[in-house]
Amino acid sequence: MKINFWNGNKSNARQVYEYKVLETTLAATEQAYGDWTLGNDCTDFPTIEGEASVFRSKGFDVFATVAGNPKLANERKIVINAPLMKGLLGYRLLIVREGNLPQFAEVSTASQMQKLALGIPFSWADAALFRFNGYRVVEGGTYDELFERLKSDEFDYVSLGANEVEEAFEARAFPVGGMSLEASILIYYPFPLLFYVNPDRPELAKRIEEGLDRIIKNGALDRLFEEQYGDLVARLRLKDRNMFRLENPNLSEELAAVMSTY
């Protein structure tokens, strides 16, 4: 079985982890389904149409994205409802201008957070989610432009998943200068990461569903998570931060109830 995995539009940390999860899932089903080869294409498609058409016109077989991704609402797909990252992607930390750290340290209520402007690249799935919860969103541009725009005072902060914020800060925010990783605030919303499978590959979807069930039950998924993110909860002090909980209107009741125990 040949499988073409699209692994773009995300941080390197996520690319590595998601590839390992899919690889482990396929290996777990080798006896029942046979040999396999896995391609890993990390091409970015930053437009809505680009990501929405990865099955329809680009020939990919599987990729990982958040549950209820609005870009795919009208696309044919098979969604495997088994969260891959224990909800960690929904734990959002902030990158802010260094001079604004005292302002953020004084934030203690949701209404204070809602008055601050959040910068989000065009077409990211969480823009509508923040708006639904009454947050000010400045949407536009690309991920590559995000921190230059933050430095230019177009908005007050950037919000990224705890699993990728450190890499983003070191590789993108720090070189811009004048940026800091805010130390007291945590925004949380249910944001499970799932595999989406090409609708013309139902046998692959069945294999991935069975494989994920196996690696969840035998602990292999937990081991992959611990290997990649094991010390992150303590390092980023996720339990000690002031948490602001948001609702995700794009989820089924089943997935909305999934929350990490962190």
64/87 Cα distance (integer angstroms): 14
pLDDT tens per residue, range 134-162: 999 999 998 889 999 999 999 999 999 99
Residue 12 DSSP code: H
User: How far apart are alpha carbons 190 and 194 in whole angstroms?
Assistant: 12
Determine the pLDDT at residue 144.
87
What SS3 state is found at 245? Answer: strand
Q: Which of 14, 76, 68 is nearest to 42 (CA)?
A: 14
Per-residue pLDDT reduced to its tens digit, 149-207: 999 999 999 999 999 899 999 999 999 999 999 999 999 999 899 999 999 999 999 99
Q: What is the pTM of this model?
A: 0.85
Q: Given the structure tokens 């099955």, which residue do they identify?
A: 55
Q: What element of type H or E holds 27?
A: helix 12-27
152: its two tokens: 């230019």
d(CA 209, CA 232): 28
Greater confidence (56 vs 233) lies with 56
- Choose between 175 and 70: higher pLDDT: 175
| In the chain, where the domains are located | 2-87+190-230, 88-188
Q: For domain 2-87+190-230, give the fold.
A: D-Maltodextrin-Binding Protein; domain 2 (3.40.190)
Q: Please, how many CA atoms are within 13 Å of residue 9, restricted to the half-sphere of its CB?
A: 20
Residue 53 pLDDT > 80, yes or no? yes
Superfamily designation of domain 88-188: Periplasmic binding protein-like II (3.40.190.10)
Contact by Cβ (8 Å): 210, 80:
no
The reported pLDDT for the residue numbered 155 is: 98
Tell me what pLDDT residue 13 has.
85
Per-residue confidence (pLDDT) for residue 246, from 0 to 100: 96
Do 88-188 and 2-87+190-230 fall under one CATH topology? yes
Q: What angle do CA 167, 99, 166 make, to 5 degrees?
A: 10
Beta strands of the chain (E only): which ranges? 2-6, 37-41, 62-66, 78-80, 91-97, 117-120, 136-139, 157-161, 179-181, 185-188, 193-197, 242-245
CA–CA distance, 160 with 187 (Å, rounded to integer): 9
Number of neighbouring beta carbons within 10 Å of residue 134:
12
Let me know: does 59 contact 24? Beta carbons within 8 Å: no
